[in-house]
Amino acid sequence: MGIIQALRGTRDILPEEVGYWQWVESVARDILNVAAYQEIRTPIFELTALFERGIGEATDVVGKEMYTFNSRGENPYSITLRPEGTAGVVRSYIENHLDVKGGIQRLWYMGPMFRYEAPQAGRQRQFHQLGVEVLGSADSRADAELIAIATDILQTLGLKNLHLYINSVGSPEDRQSYRQALVDYLTPYKEELDPDSQVRLERNPLRILDSKDKRTQAIVEDAPSIVNYLGTESRRYFEQVKARLTDLGIAYELNPRLVRGLDYYTHLAFEIVSDDLGAQATVCGGGRYDGLVAELGGPSTPAVGWAMGLERLIILLQQLQQPPAKTLDFYVVSRGEAAESQALKLATQLRRIGFSVELDLSGSAFKKQFARADKSGAVACLILGDEEAANQTVKLKWMATKEQNAIAQVELLAKTDELRRQLDTAGSYKL
């Protein structure tokens, strides 16, 4: 009988790697907390119609990347594993009347997303996104605040060689006239475009600007630029966003080809791209979607958001060899029946007063237990043998200096502050 393996495009996040994930998650949580964003958790599957309407049928995601299946029961309906987070958040916002309950909503989410794509480095079928959405504000400060949060998260993680690209896709009217100009320009080249772009020419021409095909890119090079189709109000808005970014000391580059090909996107579109990721280089993408809430049947509500691909962030952190700090205060070794039960008790008591403690459960020879203590990364080792058990003492050995001394167990438990100080000065250990 063969072994069952994880599905293509999915992977396990093993304990040796999970420290990176927990680090990213806690940095993001802290930064979002201090900016008064609240977490929202929506279901991992939704009605297929939500994504068809919310993402747009002419997009790659809806057209060919969704995991869709029928529900069970008498009247089966179509269900899809969420390929992104915004549609579900907006559905929830409408369904739960969050607009009425709290005015402007600042929300964030984190979790797995599912897309049927060709797996490669930085591209999986189950991947994870951190996303934020601000619903109910048409103020350019919301756009700038969101971008600042994204850059703060990336900077706090120590990531470098990142570029922020921004563009304006204007109002729906601006886009309509730009769309026409683009179609007029591209139609004579139709036969030379890649097959995907030929289809998009009718259904979603702005998306052609995004094509990865070399020949299409060369044609697009001379296409009209959206910048020249922005109305006065759109220009003013975009200038405001740029001024606010400059005010905040956030560097950006303009990229007039950066579009998000959906009808409900308006004004700001942006991406944060890394130099160190090869082909899958975009770590964060976002923009304004003033039309989406209404499109999904809610009250007309301006909104802006972004999503970050966590796998790509973690690849970057691993490249930088920037491991999260792991601390273990004590590794407890013991041998002999009395010593072993005292060790369990001591470990439990130390944990209750806030120390991190790993208890060796092997029952093997001291030598083997010491070898594991060395590997554990603990700052100090606590040793209990027959003699210590008889005297209710414990040997405390500092791993860095190998110094050791015996101390009464009650004394160890009583000298909490002193112990904490000593552990801290002995230094934390890196994974």
DSSP H helical ranges for 248-309: 292-295
35 to 74: interface string for ligand ATP, x by CB under 6 A: ----------------------------------------
Q: Per CB under 6 A, which of residues 305..344 are in contact with ligand ATP?
A: 307, 309, 311-312
Does 280 sit near ligand ATP (CB under 6 A)?
Answer: yes
Closer to ligand ATP by CB, 273 or 394: give it.
Answer: 273
CB of 426 to ligand ATP, least distance (A): 39
Does 282 sit near ligand ATP (CB under 6 A)?
Answer: yes
Q: What is the distance between the alpha carbons of residues 199 and 221, in angstroms, rounded to a whole number?
A: 19
Does 211 sit near ligand ATP (CB under 6 A)?
Answer: no
Angle between helices 15-34 and 310-319 (to 10 degrees): 110
Using the rule CB under 6 A, give the single segment among 27-35, 115-123, 163-171, 290-298 that binds ligand ATP: 115-123
Q: DSSP secondary-structure letter at 83?
A: S
CB of 108 to ligand ATP, least distance (A): 14
Comparing every residue's Cβ against ligand ATP, the nearest one is 309
User: What burial class does residue 388 get, using C-beta atoms within 10 Å of its C-beta: 0-12 exposed, 13-18 middle, 19+ buried?
Assistant: buried
CB of 382 to ligand ATP, least distance (A): 43
Q: Among 46, 84, 152, 174, indicate the residue that binds ligand ATP (CB under 6 A).
A: 84
Q: What is the distance between the alpha carbons of residues 152 and 155, in angstroms, rounded to a whole number?
A: 5
Query: Tokens standing for 30?
Result: 């802290």
Closer to ligand ATP by CB, 291 or 309: give it.
Answer: 309
Does 163 sit near ligand ATP (CB under 6 A)?
Answer: no
Closer to ligand ATP by CB, 207 or 244: give it.
Answer: 207
Closer to ligand ATP by CB, 11 or 235: give it.
Answer: 11
Closer to ligand ATP by CB, 130 or 346: give it.
Answer: 130
CB of 192 to ligand ATP, least distance (A): 23
Closer to ligand ATP by CB, 157 or 283: give it.
Answer: 283
Q: What is the distance between the alpha carbons of residues 90 and 131, in angstroms, rounded to a whole number?
A: 13
Amino acid found at 182: L
The answer to whether the beta carbons of residues 299 and 170 sit under 8 Å apart is no
292 to 311: interface string for ligand ATP, x by CB under 6 A: ---------------x-x-x
The answer to whether the beta carbons of residues 161 and 275 sit under 8 Å apart is yes
Handedness of CA 290, 220, 180, 236 (dihedral sign): positive
Query: Tokens standing for 425?
Result: 């000065």
The answer to whether the beta carbons of residues 175 and 204 sit under 8 Å apart is no
Angle between helices 140-156 and 232-247 (to 10 degrees): 40
117 to 156: interface string for ligand ATP, x by CB under 6 A: x----xxx--x-x---------------------------
Q: What is the distance between the alpha carbons of residues 340 and 390, in angstroms, rounded to a whole number?
A: 12
Phi, psi of 168 (to 5 degrees): -115, 130
Q: DSSP secondary-structure letter at 208?
A: G
- Residues within the interface to ligand ATP (CB under 6 A): 84, 115, 117, 122-124, 127, 129, 280, 282-285, 307, 309, 311-312
